[in-house]
Structure 1
Amino acid sequence: MIPPRGAGAPVSLSIVGARVWDSDGDLDLPAVRDLHITDGVIVAEPPPQAEIVDATGMLALPGFVNAHHHSYDVLAKGLLERMPFDVWALHSQPAYFGRRPAAELRARTLLSGLECLRSGITTIQDMCSLVPFDEQTLDIILDAYAELGIRVVFSVAVRDVAALDIAAYLTDLPTETLAWVQGRATPAAEQLAFVQAQLKRRPATGLRSWALSPSGPQRCSDELLDGIAALSQDDNLPVFTHVYETRVQTARARDLYRASGGSMIRHLADRGLLSDRTNLVHAVWITPAELELVAGAGSAIVHNPVSNMKLRSGIAPIAAAQRAGVPIALGCDNCSCGDTHNMFQAMKAMCLLTGLREPLPDGIDAAAAMRAATSEGAGAIGRPDLGALQVGQRADITLIKLDDLAYVPLNSATRQVVFGESGRAVQTVVVDGRVVLRDGVATTIDEAALQAEVAELMVGFRRDFAGVVERARPAVQPLLAALALVNERDVGVSAQLTSGR
């Protein structure tokens, strides 16, 4: 077991001599100023007896918000590629692995959170699939986040349609394989009762808050969606749901929601789930008309460009969404379909992918990507007190070394962060006024012990992963054949550069 060090209470800090990034200031050469922190809040005057952090020659950034994160599959990084979404899901989702050891739950949560800190992410929205659906599993994960000292907006992913999205288009599968693909669902009422109970049992704290996550409209009955809508309204909780990630999901929407014009977005609106608390994750295959509905409702899109590419899902119309007035947040998604929780990669991909859909130079620029990773991510989670380095904001701060060659010469801090940074220059990370990463090393946990424990746990994980691969094998070719047929279907919108409609 990794020995906990304890995060301790926030202290008074004065971060002196840094160039401080401000979305409304000089984006190329940010002004040098000091940041003073008391009780986790940025204040105007130096607090007495503050710890001095000499940030001369550094760039201070608002802590990034990873607005779409799954912590459960970090041990599967590097194991999967060349798999479209439904095939990947058959090899990666917790339902196919069953109950995991408590030590693995804790270690994987610490590992995914630590990787986020290393790329300047100070807040995670973890849409977590609990297997089994119980308090013990939940507590291990929440306690690991608290131990690490990272901010988390936690949601339990709920669904009462367990089948893979592609399942409706499959034929002639062996009985055992069909059961594997179809899965087993927990009743909506039971899931809603569990979520409500956890909101009361583990209430929000300084670093932990709650969100709600119907996995996707097509995976949820109206009963489940209605229950989530009521809970969001009553408790003022943000909602994060996967929407239009793939062509298959878009085809399902056309079939399932005929009463709503074949639209996931209109169906969500019909169920009371399209509001300024709603965040649509992916939205790759969304139509221009639906973007107008989203903008009118004040909902946001959480863009996941890296996983969208790796899973061959398509290119989201992010520039069009921005023009429509839809706020855009950024996510790093699963570690098994992006292989790293790295916001710098996400920002760069956000900008570069725009050029494949928008040949004229009026798409997403580096400043927009930075806003997506900071202030608009903060808006998505309902935290306007995050995402900027101004007096009164919570002190979530990343310090980057400007003597790294990515910044030599320093021509534009914003562009060089977005297009040139990898996480290599991240020096110090502060969460809620507490230094949790110093000189690139965590202050709250023993990293060497964590790595050693992960190495031990991987013996069992690799064995179980091999079993999942073997059990999934009979379904792979039928899934690919069904995907090929769906890819020929006209769904009224295109998000791919390949042939097909």
Structure 2
Amino acid sequence: MTPNRLVILGAQVWDPEGDVHAPSRRDVLIEGTTIAAVLPPGDALTATWLAAQPAPEVLEATDRLLMPGFVNAHFHSYDGLMKGLLEDMPFDVWALHSQPAYFGKRSRAEIRARTLVGAIECLKHGITTVQDMNSLVPMDEETLDVTLAAFAEVGIRVVFSIALRDVAALDIAPFMAADLPESVRALVEGSPRDPHADLAFVERQIARLAPLPSRLHWALSPSGPQRSSATLLEGIVDMAQRHSLPVTTHVLETPAQRAKAQSLYTAHGGSMIRYMASLGLLGPGTTLAHGVWLDDEEIAMLAESGASVVHNPMSNLKLKSGVAPIRRMHDAGVNLALGCDNCSCGDCQSVFQAMKLFCTLAAVTDPSPAGLHATHAIEAGTLGGARALGLEHVVGAIKPGMRADLCLIDLTDIAWMPLNSVARQLVYSETGRGVETTIVDGVIVMRNRKLTTIDEDQFRAELADVMLGFRRDFAQVTQANAPAVAYLLEANRRVGNAPLGIDRFIRS
């Protein structure tokens, strides 16, 4: 069977090694799932392809920018229905309202809807790869299969991991008052899990679902070192080595997590990073989400190890976690990626939003030039994300042999008028409105801003039906957990006054 062929004619093609302000026009030939050639306009090979029978599909792209599909390197699909429901909450208070353990088993329709809504928003913004760190509740094959089927249905590339934690307590639990009411203590501490059983579940799924379809990839995810026993972390390391899988985990997102690390890892100088290194959990295959409360020594360790950091600027700001030291990480040579995080704390799956914050937050602590430019943000949103997920030879660049994961951006939009610099206007002017076409694995999954894989109007009606029950259940969870909020806020103030050695807030 002859593979499908697609020809993109005359687009300005992003090439970080070329002119980033005025990229050259190129014809891009796609055969099946793969970029076959990137050629100057009018090349003889393009003419041969256009004359072939059956004729390839042709996308005229004279007024378009062709970008590698963006990589959303940190995301959680489980709260896709909570967009716009929460604000003005520190991290642990937000967790009390958003984490799936508080909601229990959900219907198949709800699981499908919450997965699709996040994936659709990604594709609409030119994100072709998403890393879903998914807390399965319950930990069963039905929940997993419905989630993966929704990703496959919409056509996005997903690096999927099942987030494991056997230490259930909220991160701020050690700083809560000693005389907590038992009902509040139960909400904050949760119920521990069996690490052996959860590791065995993941191992079974890797075997059951092999071989994977071309748009599905596995990763492994301890939710965070402080939420995991040594047994769980050692099991993750072993599984990653045996299956050659990347590991992605939350690390030092909040001041409470740094304070907890200082008391939990005294044998490692109070450093979560040194503890991870002692377990073999630090290296090129490891990606840390957030890293807001890393110190300079830990940043140097990350750079030396080859580990990556996913910067999630919107959720860090909204959850009052602080400003990550991205400038220091960049200067140290840490590979940086970008994430949009939860729908309930970032509220928008847009790498454009993340790229702009990546650059502008560098000025928050230092008014001098930072050396962090639009090109660095674009790299973090494309190849840096691919590298963090072990896909640098698969996606993230427009080169022959790479998968055809691409997006076309309309340069006639007002964001590009006048067109002075593609790199700078992509980061500072484009909002995502200009993304017109999205291609994943050589398949056009969005054409003229409308998805080709699902009926958007039908999905909108299905979503409305699901939301009737979800909003009712959300209100019940909020009411049930409300007694714990004042205690969490008091603990948060206590941590805010703790001597942590560094500060990631701007204090007047």
Question: Which bin holds the TM-score, normalised by the shorter protein?
Answer: over 0.9
Instruction: Tell me if the contact between 1:173 and 1:475 (Cα under 8 Å) persists in the aligned partners.
Output: no
CA distance in 1, matches of 2:233, 2:507: 34
Instruction: Name the amino acid aligned to 2:494.
Output: L
Residue 335 of structure 2 corresponds to 327
Deviations 1:51-105 (A, max 9, x none): 1011110000000000001011111110100000000000000001111110010
CA distance in 1, matches of 2:344, 2:366: 29
Instruction: Tell me if the contact between 1:395 and 1:433 (Cα under 8 Å) persists in the aligned partners.
Output: yes
Deviations 1:3-58 (A, max 9, x none): xxxxxx97210000110011111111110111100011111244442110111100
- Are 1:90 and 2:93 an aligned pair? no
Say which of 378, 401, 418 aligns to 1:392.
401
Matched ranges for 1:307-322 at <5 A? 307-322=315-330
Say which of 12, 16, 25 aligns to 1:19.
12
Instruction: Name the amino acid aligned to 2:279.
Output: R
Instruction: Name the amino acid aligned to 2:350.
Output: N
Residue 6 of structure 1 corresponds to none
CA distance in 1, matches of 2:333, 2:22: 28
Matched ranges for 1:23-422 at <5 A? 23-44=16-37, 45-46=45-46, 47=49, 48=52, 49-171=55-177, 172-203=179-210, 204-384=212-392, 385-422=394-431
- Are 1:477 and 2:489 an aligned pair? no
Deviations 1:105-134 (A, max 9, x none): 011111110000011100000000000000
Instruction: Name the amino acid aligned to 1:87.
Output: V
CA distance in 2, matches of 1:121, 1:400: 12
Secondary structure at the aligned position of 1:184 is classed as coil
Residue 3 of structure 1 corresponds to none
Say which of 449, 453, 462 aligns to 1:453.
462
Q: Tell me by how many angstroms 1:327 deviates.
A: 0.3
Instruction: Name the amino acid aligned to 1:368.
Output: H
Instruction: Tell me if the contact between 1:347 and 1:418 (Cα under 8 Å) persists in the aligned partners.
Output: yes
**Structure 2: which 5+ residue stretches go unaligned?**
38-44
Q: Tell me by how many angstroms 1:362 deviates.
A: 2.2
Q: Tell me by how many angstroms 1:363 deviates.
A: 3.6
Secondary structure at the aligned position of 2:159 is classed as strand
Tell me the C-alpha RMSD between the 2 structures: 1.1
Instruction: Name the amino acid aligned to 1:371.
Output: E
Secondary structure at the aligned position of 1:435 is classed as strand
Q: Tell me by how many angstroms 1:170 deviates.
A: 1.2
Instruction: Name the amino acid aligned to 1:98.
Output: G
Distance 1:129 1:484, change over 3 A: same
Q: Where has structure 1 moved over 3 Å in runs of 4 or more? A: 45-48
Secondary structure at the aligned position of 2:287 is classed as strand
CA distance in 2, matches of 1:440, 1:202: 32
Secondary structure at the aligned position of 2:214 is classed as coil
Instruction: Name the amino acid aligned to 1:12.
Output: R
**Structure 1: which 5+ residue stretches go unaligned?**
1-8
- Normalised by the length of structure 1, the TM-score is 0.97
Instruction: Tell me if the contact between 1:28 and 1:414 (Cα under 8 Å) persists in the aligned partners.
Output: yes
Deviations 1:170-229 (A, max 9, x none): 122221221111111221000100011111111232000000000000000000000001
Instruction: Tell me if the contact between 1:10 and 1:432 (Cα under 8 Å) persists in the aligned partners.
Output: no
Instruction: Name the amino acid aligned to 2:454.
Output: I
- Normalised by the length of structure 2, the TM-score is 0.95
CA distance in 1, matches of 2:78, 2:3: 29
CA distance in 1, matches of 2:17, 2:110: 43
CA distance in 2, matches of 1:367, 1:189: 44
Q: Tell me by how many angstroms 1:233 deviates.
A: 1.1
Instruction: Tell me if the contact between 2:363 and 2:370 (Cα under 8 Å) persists in the aligned partners.
Output: no
Instruction: Tell me if the contact between 2:66 and 2:409 (Cα under 8 Å) persists in the aligned partners.
Output: yes
Q: Tell me by how many angstroms 1:389 deviates.
A: 0.6
